[in-house]
Structure 1
């Protein structure tokens, strides 16, 4: 019996299929980073069932089956936000034992069936000099940026510098207080000028309404440190707990607004954040490899580089070529 490509509704998927997706994903992860601790199946399920931190919807799947067993998959995430309505985030993975048989190509060509007219696709999980890079290049994708994955063992948080005159730090866990939510949104959207290569992904489309929706749908703790200057936003940083492994957390956005840069405020707010993370033992983050300043800040806090990965991009119309 040959390989069959078919859609899979993850919400209704049998446990055997969910386990099959997990086995494919972890085989790929282990190949890219053999020394990295593998996330449990619950972490993958939580990731696939929820919106990601950029507001993209839960993953949609097509799978490759051989004798009923999942041997590969393509997942696509699309966004409700108008700013990213043109873009789908796509990942194609095949078990190492089943490569070079055209399965990845068949999955990639099935991706448009998961979309709602998105014209551009990007994949943000391509390891340099790995099979995924060669597959992407062979199918017309181009590299648009590189990211560095970092990890911090949170034992003794570093000291927090004195807050400069005229500035104020505000912290919270969970939903943003009403009096700060607009400043919070403005701070998050200031990430628009951060270096992210040639991606068409809009990181700066937050609104009060979208933030409140994210908060209402949240399944894990989120901490925020907001920096104000004379009552106006000067910076913000956000960390989210891993819902499957609560001792882990992900450092998300860190932004200092242009008028306040060059004063060490990024280091200030990120060091303060590390004192807020009750019960967290390890913090992960991803930073553009072009963002030398933020990489230096993270190193100063004790983060260690784990690995780099790339984002690649293609036009959806070219997938059928």
Structure 2
């Protein structure tokens, strides 16, 4: 049996569906839909030199990779490659071939530092180490049973704070872009990023097919968005893509307020399960999620390989 690596055929619905299916089997805590896979590939800025790869064995897609440069970082030469293989198709050579193909391509594009998320399991960690990647920090996936959980009661917003949704900003989402840019800059990360391109944000984030604007909840203070909890949905599953507060308004409980309100709205809309993810060192957000009833359901470890 021969394994080959090629680019995802974004115009082939069956190929895209197979890509999303492998991703779902490997990491069921992240929402993957064919529409979202194509959207990411098509709308990632050209400077990212992004590619989506598949490993194919006898016509079956058994592995995937998303690769590219971190185009919005002030430090050049940084890149990412995230490889996932069908859990029942390990030890066929798919993972190694995807890594080699990705590294050759990214090196040719000027990458000097390669970052990868690796599932926290003995086989996955050993695979990364064999290929020259070294462990950095960890991040947890968390799950909440929305259908059966007793969510904390939604409290009244503090004086001067109004709860709205992203749908209320449909005519002018720029204030949400500015909020997103400030909160992302303060997230725990190995790579600094800067959101400066509003049009790219509109294409990649605001028009993401997973984004549910009616469930995305925003705390507004003095007419400006001060905190938000961004909701993704793929039907009955809900995921928090981001929760954050501007620096000047932190310490008031606005992140907890917006996330609680979003979860209440999600359950009323028929969502039955909620996922989120947190850096293992993000104590404040982990505490909020524990208070909401989330439980850790998986862990990934950030790895890096520096090319000399």
Same fold (TM over 0.5): yes
Instruction: Quote how far apart the aligned CAs of 1:23 are.
Output: 7.1
- Say which of 280, 292, 302 aligns to 1:289: 280
Change (3 A) 1:104 1:269: closer
- Alpha-carbon shift at residue 63 of structure 1 (Å): 2.0
In structure 1, the residue matched to 2:298 is 307
2:2 aligned partner:
3
Q: What TM-score results when the alignment is normalised by the length of structure 1?
A: 0.75
Aligned partner of 1:219 among 205, 209, 215: 209
Q: For structure 1, which segment, 105-114 or 232-241, has the greater mean C-alpha deviation from structure 2 after superposition? A: 105-114
Pair 272,102 (structure 1): closer, same or farther in 2 beyond 3 Å: closer
Look up the match of 1:236.
Answer: 228
Shift of 1:144: 2.4
CA gap 1:95/1:211 in 2 versus in 1, 3 angstroms: closer
The answer on whether the counterparts of 1:88 and 1:118 sit within 8 Å (CA) in structure 2 is no
Instruction: Name structure 1 gaps, 5 residues minimum.
Output: 30-35
Aligned length: 293
1:147-186 equivalences under 5 Å are: 147-155=139-147, 157-173=151-167, 176-178=170-172, 181-186=173-178
Query: Equivalent residues in 2 for 1:1-321 (5 A)?
Result: 3-12=2-11, 15=14, 25=23, 28=26, 43=32, 45-51=34-40, 60-65=52-57, 68-70=58-60, 72-78=62-68, 81-83=71-73, 86-93=78-85, 99=91, 103-112=94-103, 114-115=105-106, 117=109, 119=111, 120-124=113-117, 126-155=118-147, 157-173=151-167, 176-178=170-172, 181-191=173-183, 192-196=185-189, 199-200=190-191, 202=193, 204-205=194-195, 207-214=197-204, 217-220=207-210, 221-222=212-213, 223-242=215-234, 246-277=235-266, 278-315=269-306, 317=307
Task: Give me the whole-angstrom Cα distance separating, in 2, the residues matched to 1:64 and 1:195.
Answer: 35
For the aligned residue pairs, the C-alpha RMSD in angstroms reads 3.5
CA distance in 1, matches of 2:30, 2:225: 38
| SS of residue in 1 equivalent to 2:265 | coil
The 3 A distance-change label for structure 1 pair 93 and 259 is same
Give the distance between the partners of 2:85 and 2:30, measured in 1 at CA.
16
Q: Secondary structure at the match of 2:296?
A: strand
